Amino acid sequence: AYPYDRAFAQLARGLHHLLPIGPYLPRVAAGHDRYVSDFQVIAISILGLFILMLACLVACRAMLAKESIAQTILYCLPIVMGSVFFMIGSQNAVRQFLGMSVILLALSLFSRRQYLIALILIVLATSFHHWSIVFGIFCLVATIGIRFVTTTNKHSSSISAFLKYMTLGLTIGACAVVGIKLIISGSLNYIEMFQYISANTSYFGELKQYGLMNMSELLSRSGAEKKLILVGILFLVSELILGHTRSTNDFDIRSFRVVTYSFLIPLSIYPELMSRVLFFYFGVEILFICWAVMREERRARLAGWIV
């Protein structure tokens, strides 16, 4: 199992040998056949929680230098445990959850310019879930873009900065959509490098599968447009409340959040792919909320608690 996710496979084997196996805890509507090993799920949840808390600590120390470690833990622990990202990831998409948690830690290191350690973490995240490398590359490109926009527009208004970050996210998203279309159509098959990737990895096959898949018509699923609008309303309300509030350095999670949401918009033509990126956005929201509620400005705290 998991031929491309070797770290997760080793973790699963290790937990299988170390922990009791079987369903010990009651679950709602579990059915007659249960294949969930409760202690392994709890262990993965604790590991993910530790990684996310470490990401929050690193990010908050970078953007809110005055806060103590104890105060950061006090604020961030309930935020992480109550988040959509943690609740869904720790109980369902465990490989994506662990991989993206490590990517969020890498993002927090990018904010402190610790690029080498962040790149090593991206490799580790990819060994948990092979698609994590895509989110790692996105974090790197978005961080570089944000720093470029910030340094070249130091005296611009908050509205102008917001629009530029939106444009950055839309541009990255549009480039991603063009690349996906070329891969799905087979237009890149004549290039030797893409032939090698297609023959030796599952990336292109899975991209075509999820790119052509659309389960929005199911009663249990919401359409991409509905998700985008509902999340967008909350996103815009919090941005309006925040106003001019920003970090004093050349990178802050608020700007990255704007870029990430904007990146989602072009991807809405591929509902299943957008859903995977939306899961990552919910992880980014954790860092944003921690940043917002720990600031001194009341409007920043209000925006954080609303989200």
- Per-residue pLDDT averaged across 3-25, rounded? 74
pTM of the full predicted structure? 0.87
Q: Which two tokens stand for residue 286?
A: 């954790």
Residue 22: pLDDT band by 50, 70, 90 thresholds? low
**Quick check: 274 and 268 in contact, CB under 8 A?**
yes
Banded model confidence at residue 82, pLDDT cuts 50, 70, 90: confident
Residues sharing a CB contact under 8 Å with residue 138, sequence separation 6 or more, in sequence order: 172, 263
- State pLDDT tens for residues 96-137: 889 999 999 999 998 888 889 999 999 999 988 888 999 999
d(CA 257, CA 247): 13
CA–CA distance, 69 with 61 (Å, rounded to integer): 8
What integer pLDDT is reported at residue 3 of this predicted model? 63
On the CB side of 8, CA atoms within 13 Å amount to 25
What's the pLDDT at 123?
A: 92
pLDDT of amino acid 102: 93
More confident residue, 239 or 93: 239
Would you list the domain boundaries of the chain?
Answer: 6-306
Q: What token pair was written down for 105?
A: 């830690």
| 192-225 tens-digit pLDDT | 887 777 777 777 788 888 878 777 666 667 777 8
Tell me what pLDDT residue 140 has: 92
Tell me phi and psi for residue 201, to 5 degrees. -135, 170
Residue 170 CA to residue 142 CA, distance in Å, equals: 11
The C-alpha atoms of residue 147 and residue 170 are separated, in whole angstroms, by: 17
DSSP state of 195: H
CB count in 10 Å sphere of residue 222: 14
User: pLDDT band for position 281 (50/70/90)?
Assistant: very high
Read off the pLDDT of residues 240-268 as tens digits, 9 standing for 90 and up: 888 776 665 556 788 899 999 999 999 98
Residue 25: HSE in the Cβ half-sphere, 13 Å Cα cutoff: 10
> For the stretch 13-32, what's the b/e string if a residue is b when 16 or more beta carbons lie within 10 angstroms of its beta carbon?
eebeeeeeeeeeeeeeeeee
